[in-house]
Amino acid sequence: GRRHHHKTPLPGARGRALVPAARPQLRIHSAPAPARGEGPRNRPGTDQMGGGSGGRGKGMPRAMAPVEEVDVAAVRYKPAELQAPHLTGFPLRAFVWLLESPLLGPLVTSILKKQNNMTQMLQHTVIPERPMFYPEYPPQEPERGVVTLGDDRDPVDRVEEALSCLAPYDPSGRFTSADEKNPFLYWKIRDFAYAYRSGITTPSAVAELVIAGVEEWNNKKPPMPMLIFFKADDLRKQADASTKRFEKGSPISVLDGIFFAVKDDIDCLPYPSKSATTFFDEIRPVEKDAVAVSRLRKCGVIFIGKANMHELGLGVTGNNPNYGTVRNPHSVDRYTGGSSSGPAALVSSGLCSGAIGTDGGGSVRIPSSLCGIVGLKTTFGRTDMTGVVCDAGTVEVASPLTSSVEDSVLLYSALAGSRPMDKLTLRPSLLCVPNLVSSENSKILQSVKVGKYTEWFHDVSDIEISNTCEDALSLLRNTFGCQIEEIILPELLEMRTAHLVTIGSEGFCQLNAHYQEGRRTEMTLDTRGSLALFGSFTSADYVASQRLRRRMMYYHMEAFRKVDVIATPTTG
């Protein structure tokens, strides 16, 4: 983790920064793979980043070879060498003023982009692929050992079916805690469900402990502002309704009475959605719950309030001068990561079992990693984004943060379900969860192939990070029988640039009218610096980035012909 230094006027977009935080954790990307087999024979003549060298003469631009012809085996890994000033205080304020200056701003952003090879990559390179404006996935073969939940079914029914896919619950040893003040800390969803049904405790009793816990964290030195909006009376009201359902013997689902937090860019009545700004509720009032929230509420979930975040999601630290910066519960001199800093801290502290965050480039996964919990970025379009502030692009999703994979399965089964428009344009595969009690899955890990790009895997700031992740891979191999396969993913520098331009342009387009009307002066300095950079991207930059997106999707789908998942350190 990083200690609390407010630096970098040039962060990346939501969930991605040019100087990311780091802590030893393991991230595994998974995707349904096409049938395994060999790809097309490739031609040589690629440069170090995977693109074709082409023929270059005087005045000739760099030309990338068609992606199908790139000789992946000849690609040489090239570490990123990002350049950005590290500034705080008055120098940072002066730098942001320069970026926003109509006369000097274009010059400064041009220099920064050239220093980081963005201009060469996007404006002086011939990219032969067609743009991919939305993620496109080839048809997938049905997976074995899964249960199809049904995209249009009631979330209560989906949760109950997902529950039947988990191993039988064993309560022995679950209800002893060294913390007598907060005996429920780090209970899982099924722990609460069992305790409520057995009369061990009630949602109302737990609500009082949650209220006391929030107040205790807020009063710490330094304070821990995990929630931006919190109403104890509303929490008691929800808990009382749940308690009465249990008293009548009619709980709604296994999620009834379970406490969850909601990131401040997701609508949840009776609270406003400010995206951790000081003003956004004035231009976007909340009239009803977001679809993701309404699905959980229908299952009986209790919402404790709106969780803190990096302002407008434009950063990966969680630093927020407006409401205070959320600190890592396990080490308060370190960041949580962001932008879903509050949701991750609340789950990590044990105050709630799960939370809903948003993720476009790591905003759920990074804080989950740094806080030691489970963060899942769902496939784009898998969750309905109606009622989410950042529903304006092609990378953002609403996703769960939980303390265990089991809880992620249950929360995901309630949240998931594409909106009609996304079903038409994205054609998502069938919604399913793994059937962990199926005989087909008794030895499933022995057939799993884990992809590892060794040079990328070890390109981290501290060897402790990669060593810890190596230990995790060794555990998967030696204890569970997974196979570790070496892979190569070309053009990672291009991928990072394309992502930054894509998410930055989409976010800036959503905010531009308010930015131009003077609202930028109400934003924090790092947000203003980011938006000034994003506003410098051209339409040609955006289209070039979508051409690169098609190349990236091709390389990853080719990798998934050989492996089932790709493992990397989450951040480093």
Collapsing DSSP states into helix, strand and coil, what is residue 536? Answer: coil
d(CA 263, CA 272): 11
Q: Which of 339, 348, 369, 530 is catalytic?
A: 339
Look at phi and psi of residue 54 and say left if phi exceeds 0, alpha if psi is from -120 to 50, else beta. left
Q: Which of 113, 188, 204, 263 is catalytic?
A: 263
Nearest to 383, CA basis, from 144, 48, 158: 158
d(CA 147, CA 430): 10
Name the token pair of 47.
């440069």
Q: Which of 242, 340, 363, 368 is catalytic?
A: 363
Strands 374-375 and 331-335: unpaired
Nearest to 363, CA basis, from 184, 507, 539: 507
Nearest to 162, CA basis, from 376, 403, 407, 357: 407
Q: How many residues are listed for the chain in this entry? A: 572
Residue 31 one-letter amino acid: A
Strands 397-402 and 125-126: unpaired
Beta bridge partners of 262: 306, 356
Q: Provide the sign of the torsion angle of the four alpha carbons 488, 431, 419, 313, taken in this order.
A: negative
Residue 222 one-letter amino acid: P
d(CA 143, CA 459): 33
Strands 259-263 and 302-307: parallel
d(CA 61, CA 502): 23
Name residues whose C-beta falls within 8 Å of residue 326's C-beta, 6 or more positions apart in sequence: 224, 225, 226, 308, 318, 320, 336, 341, 342, 345
d(CA 391, CA 14): 12
Nearest to 181, CA basis, from 204, 147, 213: 213
Calculate helix-pair angle for 525-534, 105-115, nearest 10 degrees.
80
**Lookup result for tokens 């009307």:** 517
Active site residue 339: yes
Nearest to 527, CA basis, from 5, 112, 14, 1: 14
DSSP 400-422: EEESSHHHHHHHHHHHBB--HHH
Please answer whether residues 276 and 227 qualify as being in contact, where contact means their C-beta atoms are separated by less than 8 angstroms.
no
Catalytic site residues? 263, 339, 363
